[in-house]
């Protein structure tokens, strides 16, 4: 993404620091994890605050740092975005709006959208007026994105979409979706896909919330019943959805390393109850235990290595030193590190990891987080798929043999419940 800097980094840093300290609430380290259950009122209030903070960033000239100016952004460089991320450390930020609204959704629109689509949607995204989700996974497909069964049928000057999408985080409070659908059943599965955009809340879409083991109800399943989409809301060519989709999944793997995403540099992932491993050790009265101190060091090392790897991969891709597919390398490491960090937190919590009460403070929910630890290896594409990308597209190893490459999708064997 081209950008021309008109403000030197130090001046930008001073401007960002002044705004952050004058307007945003100090919150300590941000924690990106599947939150335990909160009331709907609390969740909607948090979403409203995220929208408010995003608008504050926009009004201050700090939203869309790397988005071209013609779409409401600042037209600056990834280095400027990193500076903003550094200055946000320890302060609130609009976490629910960053992913997937900006990566992958805004990134896909910037790369493949029409001029009208970009002018209509990118500025509201930057102002916090439109929160986007991705209608990608399906109940029958798992990580086989190209096996989408949601259909799009021509209807005059538009399309009728029918099917189901699942594991959409926050769909119940979001506004728009990027949706992959099948437009041709008589060609191989990768050749008959098309991407559309559509508003989530309309009579033809039913959004059902899914309750997770820890009581969280962020994830949703959507049922589309002949949702009418004008052809002007198609992204890319008809039956060229896989071209869009491969870049869509690249931007998804980039996520928090994307230059379009605002993400404090001190944010941590998957830590029990939002506490650091050191805080857990202190709460458990085990901070002086040599074994526990080794675990604290290991957790910290994993966090540092992940951040540095993300930075290296981001710079490598931006400079052309690495393939764009190298984003999968960081994805694989992050998943393994997140699982290990959650396991460490469970070990440090001791007995409270198996049974706890609300009086256990930061130790509470360490056990539930441990049971939820594999979410990081499934959401956003499984680690198995990321490993395939690394082996085939980064290391150049032979592709795994497939039996449906040249078969019309309607003739591909599927389970009885998944057949068209």
- The CATH number linked to 320 is 1.20.140.10
The residue behind tokens 């504050």 is: 56
Q: What CATH number does the domain containing 258 carry? A: 2.40.110.10
| Residues written for the chain | 420
If asked whether residues 80 and 178 sit together in one domain, one would say yes
Question: CA end-to-end span of the chain, whole Å?
Answer: 40
Q: Which band of pLDDT confidence, cut at 50, 70 and 90, is reported for residue 182?
A: very high
Give the distance, in angstroms, between the CA of residue 393 and the centroid of all CA atoms in the same chain.
22
Interval 370-391 mean pLDDT: 83
> pLDDT at position 222, please?
98
Could you give the CA distance from residue 134 to residue 171 in angstroms, rounded to a whole number? 9
SS3 label, residue 31: strand
Could you give the CA distance from residue 242 to residue 189 in angstroms, rounded to a whole number? 9
**What are the residues whose beta carbons fall under 8 Å from the beta carbon of 379, sequence distance 6 or more?**
167, 169
Task: Count Cβ neighbours within 10 Å for each residue of 253-275 and write b for 16 or more, e otherwise.
Answer: bbbbbbbbbbbbbbbbbbbbbbb
If asked whether residues 81 and 154 sit together in one domain, one would say yes
Is 401 domain-assigned? no
Is 409 domain-assigned? no
Listed residues 264, 291, 316: the one ending a domain: 264
If asked whether residues 89 and 205 sit together in one domain, one would say yes
254 neighbors 99 (Cβ within 8 angstroms):
no
Q: Is the pTM of this model over 0.75?
A: yes
Burial class (CB in 10 A: 0-12, 13-18, 19+), 7: middle
> pLDDT at position 1, please?
43
Is 405 domain-assigned? no
The H or E element containing residue 83 is: helix 78-87
Q: Which band of pLDDT confidence, cut at 50, 70 and 90, is reported for residue 36?
A: low
Average pLDDT, the chain: 89
Is 411 domain-assigned? no
Is 177 domain-assigned? yes
Q: Which residue has the higher pLDDT, 420 or 147?
A: 147
If asked whether residues 31 and 162 sit together in one domain, one would say yes
Is 312 domain-assigned? yes
Listed residues 264, 286, 311: the one ending a domain: 264
169 neighbors 380 (Cβ within 8 angstroms):
no
Overall number of domains in the chain: 2
63 DSSP assignment: S
If asked whether residues 149 and 229 sit together in one domain, one would say yes
If asked whether residues 148 and 247 sit together in one domain, one would say yes
Could you give the CA distance from residue 126 to residue 105 in angstroms, rounded to a whole number? 12
> pLDDT at position 402, please?
77
Task: Count Cβ neighbours within 10 Å for each residue of 379-398 and write b for 16 or more, e otherwise.
Answer: ebbbbebbebbbeebbeeee
If asked whether residues 220 and 281 sit together in one domain, one would say no
Residues of the domain holding 327: 270-394
SS3 label, residue 207: strand
SS3 label, residue 225: strand
Q: Which residue has the higher pLDDT, 405 or 85?
A: 85
Could you give the CA distance from residue 97 to residue 106 in angstroms, rounded to a whole number? 11
Is 408 domain-assigned? no
> pLDDT at position 386, please?
85
Q: Is the pLDDT of residue 81 over 60?
A: yes
If asked whether residues 139 and 170 sit together in one domain, one would say yes
Question: For 192-235, what is each residue's pLDDT tens digit?
Answer: 999 999 999 999 999 999 998 778 888 999 999 999 999 999 99
The H or E element containing residue 351 is: none
> pLDDT at position 270, please?
52
Interval 310-332 mean pLDDT: 86
Q: Which band of pLDDT confidence, cut at 50, 70 and 90, is reported for residue 78?
A: very high
Question: For 240-254, what is each residue's pLDDT tens digit?
Answer: 999 999 999 888 888
Between 108-112, 175-179, 299-303, 327-331, the lowest mean confidence (pLDDT) is in 327-331
If asked whether residues 283 and 253 sit together in one domain, one would say no
Between 165-169, 235-239, 275-279, the lowest mean confidence (pLDDT) is in 275-279
Q: Which band of pLDDT confidence, cut at 50, 70 and 90, is reported for residue 111?
A: very high
Could you give the CA distance from residue 342 to residue 165 in angstroms, rounded to a whole number? 29
> pLDDT at position 3, please?
43
> What percent of the chain is modeled with pLDDT above 90?
60
Interval 113-142 mean pLDDT: 95
- Which of 21-35, 194-208, 344-358 ranks highest by mean pLDDT? 194-208
SS3 label, residue 176: strand
If asked whether residues 116 and 61 sit together in one domain, one would say yes
If asked whether residues 378 and 249 sit together in one domain, one would say no
If asked whether residues 285 and 233 sit together in one domain, one would say no
165 neighbors 179 (Cβ within 8 angstroms):
yes
Listed residues 264, 299, 323: the one ending a domain: 264
Is 325 domain-assigned? yes
> pLDDT at position 268, please?
62
Which stretches of 103-240 are DSSP H helices?
A: 107-112, 115-127
Q: Which residue has the higher pLDDT, 56 or 251?
A: 56
> pLDDT at position 418, please?
56
Question: For 120-132, what is each residue's pLDDT tens digit?
Answer: 999 999 999 999 9
- Give the count of alpha carbons within 13 A of 85, CB side only: 25
Helices (H) and strands (E) counted in the chain, each on its own, are 12, 10
43 neighbors 30 (Cβ within 8 angstroms):
no
């Amino acid at each position: 993404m081209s950008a021309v800097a008109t403000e030197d980094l130090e001046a930008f840093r001073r401007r960002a620091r002044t705004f952050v300290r004058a307007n945003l609430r100090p919150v300590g380290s941000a924690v990106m994890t599947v939150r335990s259950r909160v009331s709907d009122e609390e969740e909607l209030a948090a979403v409203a605050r995220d929208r408010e903070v995003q608008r504050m960033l926009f009004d201050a000239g700090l939203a869309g740092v790397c988005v071209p100016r013609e779409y409401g952004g600042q037209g600056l460089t990834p280095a400027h975005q990193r500076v903003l991320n550094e200055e946000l450390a320890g302060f609130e930020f609009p976490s629910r709006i960053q992913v997937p609204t900006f990566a992958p959704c805004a990134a896909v629109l910037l790369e493949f959208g029409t001029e009208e689509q970009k002018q209509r949607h990118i500025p509201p995204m930057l102002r916090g007026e439109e929160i986007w989700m991705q209608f990608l996974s399906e109940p029958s497909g798992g990580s086989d994105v190209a096996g989408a069964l949601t259909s799009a049928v021509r209807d005059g000057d538009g399309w009728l979409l029918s099917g189901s999408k699942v594991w959409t985080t926050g769909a119940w409070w979001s506004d728009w979706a990027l949706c992959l659908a099948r437009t041709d059943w008589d060609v191989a599965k990768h050749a008959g896909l098309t991407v559309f955009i559509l508003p989530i809340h309309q009579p033809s879409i039913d959004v059902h919330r899914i309750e997770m083991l820890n009581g969280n109800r962020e994830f949703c399943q959507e049922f589309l019943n002949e949702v009418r989409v004008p052809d002007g809301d198609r992204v890319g060519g008809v039956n060229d959805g896989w071209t869009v989709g491969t870049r869509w999944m690249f931007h998804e793997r980039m996520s928090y390393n994307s230059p379009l995403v605002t993400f404090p540099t001190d944010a941590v992932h998957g830590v029990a109850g939002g506490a650091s491993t050191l805080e857990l050790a202190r709460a458990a009265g085990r901070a002086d235990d040599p074994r526990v101190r080794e675990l604290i060091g290991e957790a910290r090392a994993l966090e540092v290595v992940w951040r540095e790897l993300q930075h290296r991969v981001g710079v490598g891709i931006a400079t052309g030193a690495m393939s764009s597919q190298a984003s999968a390398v960081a994805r694989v490491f992050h998943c393994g590190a997140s699982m290990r960090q959650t396991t460490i937190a469970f070990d440090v919590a001791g007995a409270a990891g198996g049974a706890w009460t609300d009086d256990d403070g930061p130790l509470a929910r360490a056990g539930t987080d441990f049971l939820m630890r594999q979410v990081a290896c499934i959401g956003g594409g499984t680690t198995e798929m990321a490993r395939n990308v690394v082996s085939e597209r980064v290391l150049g190893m032979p592709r795994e043999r497939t039996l449906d490459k040249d078969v019309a999708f309607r003739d591909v064997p599927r389970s009885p419940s998944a057949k068209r």
